[in-house]
Structure 1
Amino acid sequence: MENYLEEMDFSQYDLIIIIASEQFSSNHVKLAKAMQSMRRRFYVVWTKLDRDLDTSALPEPQLRENIIKNILENFQKEGVEKPPIFLVSTFSPDSHDFPKLRETLTEDLYSIRYDGLFRTLSHVCEESISKKVEFVKGIIKENNLTKQFKISDPNNLEECQKVFQENFGVDDKSLHQVALNMRHPQVIQDHQQDGWTMSLLHYLPVGAVNFVLCCFASTHRQQARALDEAAEKTMENLNKILKDILLP
């Protein structure tokens, strides 16, 4: 089993289906435990249910209950949480748990496809935001907000906000254009927090991430803190927009 887990490299898979029949062995349990430790999504599919029904004197409901109970008892001994369990027979694809298995599999594959894309885009955007944060922090540290962003008075909050909104494409005109291209325009809105306003814009076609920050303090430390808060809020709202765009 140890060699099997290493050779198969299950960490590369999004979904694993553990298939068993006749008996649920210790190897099945080890495999399930490994999946759980790697945070892999997995099902247990008990096959050949028709043969179990033919050879057992128990009625189907009681037989099904016994099979599931046996699987769960084996899991509980090893601390494995209950996964989706399906009892099926290939001779009866429209009976037992086969329809439920198809439905669950379809939903999960759909979710995996979009979750993967979401995670990728979110990671790319987060890196972009982090780079911008470091860049602006350098400007703050050098006291070059006026030179770099043409702000005549960095302590003028209204001017600071206006200049950064125009520079990063989150002014009213840009936000309005993005809202027209989204199914739910209300996703893009102003967020009030601790006396400052931050707006977010995401250009889907080029995958660009833009954010605006406004420095509401006179010291570099307070400006950097405001920047971190803006970046964190930007990422939160960016994820909401990505989900809205990617998930029908």
Structure 2
Amino acid sequence: MGGYATKYNVSKSLLHNEELRRNVPETRMYSKSVLKTMLDKYNMVYVKPNSGTGGKGVMRVEKLDQGSYKYQLETSARTFNSFDGLIQSISKKTKNCPYAVQRGIHLLRHSGRRFDLRIMVQKNPKGKWETTGVIGRLGHPKKIITNVCKGGSSKPVEFLLKKHVSNITEYTGKLRNLGYQAAIRLNKTFPKIKEIGLDVGIDRKLHPWILEANPQPAIYGFKTLKDKRIYQKMCRYQRAYGRR
């Protein structure tokens, strides 16, 4: 998947599959006009480094009432009275590398904190794709991202979804299938991949959105689960395809 697995290229690949298309938020390369168009369309977007990892440099940008705008980076938020003021500030952050603009998804919350899910999909020792685990990532209360390396915490899916979903087993089954289908599709575009960590956001209507696909994802969050066999299987599969 390497350096070609940018946010934009991943989105473009997934959109080739008609069934997956409804689970992929619109993602376009950043420019002043693209940001304006997407804010007018969605009111909230995420501006992300096109090839970044770990949530570094991600901004949440909002169009507010009466022509004002706001963005947040890390724990710092700024508000502007005009789009030009917003773009001047954001452009200082984006000048050193390509960025992408992604439709913002209003994520479900637990105790006021946003959360999303990490779906781990790997090639098993027979070379077939298999969803090996799903875990929740509960965001830092003051941050817009859920990454564990940025202050988020790993939680069981059942713990985070119990207030939102009536049949968690059935719902996670659908998520596991979504991960499997996404891996099949991405493998056609990126033939060398052996594992993918999908970041999936759940909106208020319980619709899942594939926010990112990470090659060589960190799996240490799965260590925290009560069922230790999940993490052990992931490690076993990684050894089989040569990741240490």
TM-score above 0.5: no
Q: Which structure: greater strand fraction? A: 2
For Structure 1 versus Structure 2, the TM-score category normalised by the shorter chain is under 0.3
**What TM-score do you get using the length of structure 2 for normalisation?**
0.22
Q: Which structure: greater helix fraction? A: 1
Q: Which gives a bigger RCO, structure 1 or 2 (Cα 8 Å, sep 6+)?
A: 2
